[in-house]
Amino acid sequence: MKNRIIMHVDMDAFFASVEQAADPSLKGKPVMVCGGLESRTVVAAASYEARKFGVRAAMPLAIARMKCPNGVFIEGDPEKYIYTSLRLNDIFREFSPIVEEYSIDESFLDVTDVADRFGGPVEIAKKIKQRVKEQFHLSCSVGIGPNKLLAKTASDLDKPDGLTVLAWEDLPAKFQTLPVEKLYGVGEETAKKLELLGVHTIGQLANVPVSALKKIFGVVGELLHDAANGIDNSPVLTEAERPPPKSVGNDYTLQRDTLDDELIRSVLLGLCSKVARRLRKGGHAGRTVTLKIRFSDFTTITRSRTLDTHVDLDKEIFDVALQIYQSLHKHMAVRMLGVSASNLMHTPPERQRSLFDYSFWKKYKRVIQSVDKARDKFGERSIMWGALIRKEAG
């Protein structure tokens, strides 16, 4: 089998860099892009200048303001970033048809069969970096390796604006000397357990017998062992090859913690409506509805209900979510709500309805189909539930 050549392109401080490109006066300044400018939101991206002050992504805005009081705080503009991400992937596809949009700011490219045509993988990486800089005034870090794991690790070794090759022969010196938490897939908890075992580097993890890792981590133990030895056979998946989603969900953090039942019902309706719309748009229907509630003391309750049939209509999902909500003991004000549908069926067949309410559901479905058509043409907010227009539930 031909040795694979995989490339990982990671945009540097993506959202913050896009804002600096849009407003060149922000270049060189600590810029923090946030979900909103209220104190309850978190930093979505921090420019490298902001990182010098200790600001990191996912840090609460209030803390970021303390660490970097003179920084520039900008409310994020998702449409700007999504559009840029799509165009960046168009550039990548000019070099290889096998591109996996891994996240909004990261992509994998399989350049195995096209590398020679462009003078080798390093030349491709240089050309991509140049195109991205010319077209968007953005920088990216590129990692090249024989698989996705090593390519991703490589892109992180020299940020920002780096270009790093991690070949098999580099493993002992450049990969296995890294701290174990740098290994993709090793989270905080796993790293803590490994530390207790005296495993501090990827190399030390590679030397732990797979049987011992399986005893501690179960099936994940084998994956950890493979990863520490640089083994990853997962393919680069194009959009068409990606598996369908396992669940569809939406969360919402309220502007203020609340005990207001009417407001909570409205927020639930908004969430269920969004989930149902996403299900229908993707051609899915879900059998399990899950409600997540976070209270003001950050305790979180998650409850699910599995139905006899798959559902994809706003009211069907809302009815279940509301039943779950009403069955819960609410010990304090609610901070965050989340609704998701799982146990999905893709391209669900027409459902058999009870004779008693057949007429209602037939009419309801027809209304929702018309609403979907209107939203497709005029936008998501062109038609909405009356209950969502009030307060902050939309």
Secondary structure (DSSP) of 70-84 = TSEEEE--HHHHHHH
Q: What are the tokens at 152?
A: 């991703």
d(CA 386, CA 83) in angstroms, rounded, equals 31
Binding span for another protein by CB under 8 A among 66-74, 111-119, 152-160, 333-341: 66-74
Q: How far is the CB of 377 from another protein (least distance, A)?
A: 5
Q: Which is nearer to another protein, 82 or 367 (CB)?
A: 82
d(CA 80, CA 28) in angstroms, rounded, equals 21
Q: How far is the CB of 145 from another protein (least distance, A)?
A: 32
Secondary structure (DSSP) of 323-352 = HHHHHS---S-EEEEEEEEEEEEESPPPPP
Q: Which is nearer to another protein, 31 or 205 (CB)?
A: 31
Among 198, 243, 379, 386, binds another protein (CB under 8 A): 379
151 binds another protein (CB under 8 A): no
Q: What are the tokens at 160?
A: 């920002």
Residue of 114, 148, 347 whose CA lies nearest to 236: 148
Residues with a known catalytic role: 106
Contact in structure between 8 and 108 (CB atoms under 8 Å): yes
Binding span for another protein by CB under 8 A among 6-14, 206-214, 323-331, 369-377: 369-377
198 binds another protein (CB under 8 A): no
Q: Which is nearer to another protein, 3 or 70 (CB)?
A: 70
3-class state of residue 13 by DSSP: coil
38 binds another protein (CB under 8 A): no
Q: Which is nearer to another protein, 62 or 82 (CB)?
A: 82
The size of the interface with another protein (CB under 8 A), counted in residues, is 25
Among 52, 62, 66, 83, binds another protein (CB under 8 A): 83
Rounded to 5 degrees, what angle do the CA atoms 125, 131, 135 make? 150
Q: Return residues touching another protein (CB under 8 A).
A: 18, 21-26, 29, 70, 72, 74-75, 79-80, 82-84, 374-380, 382
